Structure 1
Amino acid sequence: MQEASEKICELKGNLVALEALVTAMMKVMPPEAQEELKGVFEQHAEVARTVLLHVPISEHSITAFEADVGRTGRFIDRAEAAAHTDSPAGCDTVLLTVARVHTFSGATPLTAATGFFFEAAGRLYLVTCRHVFIDPASGHHPDRLEIELHTDRSNLTQVAQLSMPLYRNGVATWRETQDSAGMVDVAALEIDPSTLPANCVLQAWTPAHIEAKPSNVPVGASLVVMGFPLGFHDTLHHLPVIRQGQVASSFGLRFQGQGYFLTDARTHRGTSGAPVLSHQHGGWKLLGVHAARLDMSARSHSDDESLGLNSAWYADVLARLTTH
């Protein structure tokens, strides 16, 4: 009897742990992956049901199985419905992960770039290239930036400007980091939730979206760079545009010892800080942060075309930038 009781307790513990796992998965899975999960779950549940009906097992076990299948199915349905409710009509939510960035020195506008939202440990950050915040080589020293934020889920033409200081009491408000090769051209600026406009509409990437397995990204794998090239975008709905490309170096190896890999997407000024993404198994993965176009210093501008290659810093640098 004691052995049976211990086994029942063990099974209950396993069930609670499994429910916790499913709950966590549903929170980080994009809506399209949730839809795929629903279909796959129903298929596997039917297979399991067929097996149970053809083996010697008690009616109580079958009843418990059906109850758990029904409960899990309803949970997936609720999560899927919530995801669709949360999605603005006619807009892929991935487009809401980025923002157009303008830098200023006082009231004087300086440059335009791209940034994206990243959430870690309950804190929200704007991520972009470090050279957007400061670039001594070109004399670029802004003291604040502005981003556009949507304020009406049913009408994406409605936006508000959020101004954020880059210095407080003479100290930089953004986070930067270095690696073995020197300064990393990625920086993160924490966003104070109290400064966000009412009914703010945005989506943020999380550590769960960062691609951690180089084997999932072979050379030549498709990718997209999402941003505001030369400031171009949907000016009515205030949404970015996407350029397609491929991984142009070995993903997982630091190109020439630097903390980035190469892409061959067509890019322009204003794309600095854009997220570099891949679409895998029904969901998006964050590969890196687009930084700059690369070229050969010895290239003859009259005889040779531009290489058409870009540097993209590996997204795992965000773990260092967002850890308190």
Structure 2
Amino acid sequence: MIDPLLFCAARITTYSGPLRLTDASGFFYERAHRLFLVTSRHVFLDDAGGHRPDRIEFIVHTDAADLTAWATLSVLLYRDGVSQWREGVDSGGAVDVAAIELERDVLPASAVMHPFRPELCAAADAALPPGAPVLVVGFPLSFFDTRHYLPVVRSGSIASAYGIRFQGQGYFLTDARTHRGTSGAPVVMRNTAPGSAFPWTLLGVHSASFDMQTREDELDERLGLGCAWYAGILDALTR
């Protein structure tokens, strides 16, 4: 039996026309029978970095028993010049999370995916202690099981006061080894409630790793902290 957590994530590849640009992570989110693909907003558009893709591709499994069976789906980011994803702001400014709705009729009838839903998201005021264990499910440096097309899972912990907006921004910190390509990955915690069919709780969306300009390469390791935007932003983005 494969843990359903491994079917929640998707490897996202961005394109500008036929030109392949970058790889990132994302995950599926369902609300009122509407299905979304969630990732970092900068995966879809990063003006500062000159990153302006016009479409994305991702993989979905088509057979729960044969993990070598999958389909590649392509989604346009613009229609008639209008961006198709949803993004948001909060009291701290722009939020680095985006969601694009997927048309169910273009998905394979046998698609195997386990989307998160509102009831599987942790409340921002949940009583989670510093150091509580978390998992980051994604495709760091585009590394994954290329035969079965499954993501990898990095373990870490909550590194700031959960429920408090770190430095006034809508995210908390994680202490986990993350790399390029992990942007947009779900940050989750095991749900120990008995009888849960999907024993995972979505805490946030990994966005970026931090480093310090004062760090000296010869003396100091990288800071190794990342930011995860609180999952509550998805309530606003998917209404």
Q: If you compute each CA radius of gyration, which structure gives the higher value, 1 or 2?
A: 1
Tell whether 2:213 aligns with 1:297. yes
Q: Which has the higher helix share?
A: 1
Tell whether 2:14 aligns with 1:95. no
Deviations, residues 39-67 of structure 1 (Å, cap 9, x unaligned): xxxxxxxxxxxxxxxxxxxxxxxxxxxxx
In the alignment, which of 220, 224, 229 is matched to residue 131 of structure 2? 220
**Structure 1: distance between partners of 2:204 and 2:224:** 18
**Structure 2: distance between partners of 1:213 and 1:148:** 31
In the alignment, which of 211, 227, 235 is matched to residue 311 of structure 1? 227
For structure 1, list consecutive stretches of 5 or more residues without a partner in the other structure: 1-89
Q: CA deviation at 1:213?
A: 5.7
> Structure 2 counterpart of 1:163, which letter?
S
**Structure 2: distance between partners of 1:213 and 1:307:** 25
Aligned-residue RMSD, C-alpha = 1.0
Q: CA deviation at 1:215?
A: 4.1
Taking the TM superposition and a 5 Å limit, the aligned residue runs for 1:231-242 are 231-242=142-153
Q: CA deviation at 1:256?
A: 0.3
Identify the residue that residue 158 of structure 1 maps to in structure 2. 69
Taking the TM superposition and a 5 Å limit, the aligned residue runs for 1:189-208 are 189-208=100-119
Greater relative contact order, per chain length (Cα 8 Å cut-off, separation 6+): 2
**TM-score normalised by structure 1 residue count:** 0.71
**Structure 2: distance between partners of 1:198 and 1:213:** 35
Identify the residue that residue 196 of structure 2 maps to in structure 1. none
2:48 counterpart SS class:
helix
- Percent sequence identity is 55
> Structure 2 counterpart of 1:205, which letter?
F
**Structure 2: distance between partners of 1:109 and 1:204:** 26
Q: CA deviation at 1:302?
A: 2.5
Identify the residue that residue 124 of structure 1 maps to in structure 2. 35
**TM-score normalised by structure 2 residue count:** 0.96
**Structure 2: distance between partners of 1:187 and 1:206:** 16
Q: CA deviation at 1:194?
A: 1.0
**Structure 2: distance between partners of 1:274 and 1:125:** 14
- Contact 2:92/2:169, CA 8 A, preserved across alignment: yes
> Structure 2 counterpart of 1:264, which letter?
D
> Structure 1 counterpart of 2:213, which letter?
S
For structure 2, list consecutive stretches of 5 or more residues without a partner in the other structure: 194-198
Q: Which has the higher strand share?
A: 2
Deviations, residues 237-262 of structure 1 (Å, cap 9, x unaligned): 11001000000000000000011000
2:6 counterpart SS class:
helix
The structure-2 alpha-carbon separation of the partners of 1:213 and 1:184, relative to structure 1 and needing over 3 Å to count, comes to closer
2:176 counterpart SS class:
coil
Single out whichever of 271-280 and 281-290 deviates more from structure 2.
281-290
Deviations, residues 217-276 of structure 1 (Å, cap 9, x unaligned): 111100000000111111111100100000000000000001100000101111100000
In the alignment, which of 160, 170, 176 is matched to residue 259 of structure 1? 170
Identify the residue that residue 99 of structure 2 maps to in structure 1. 188
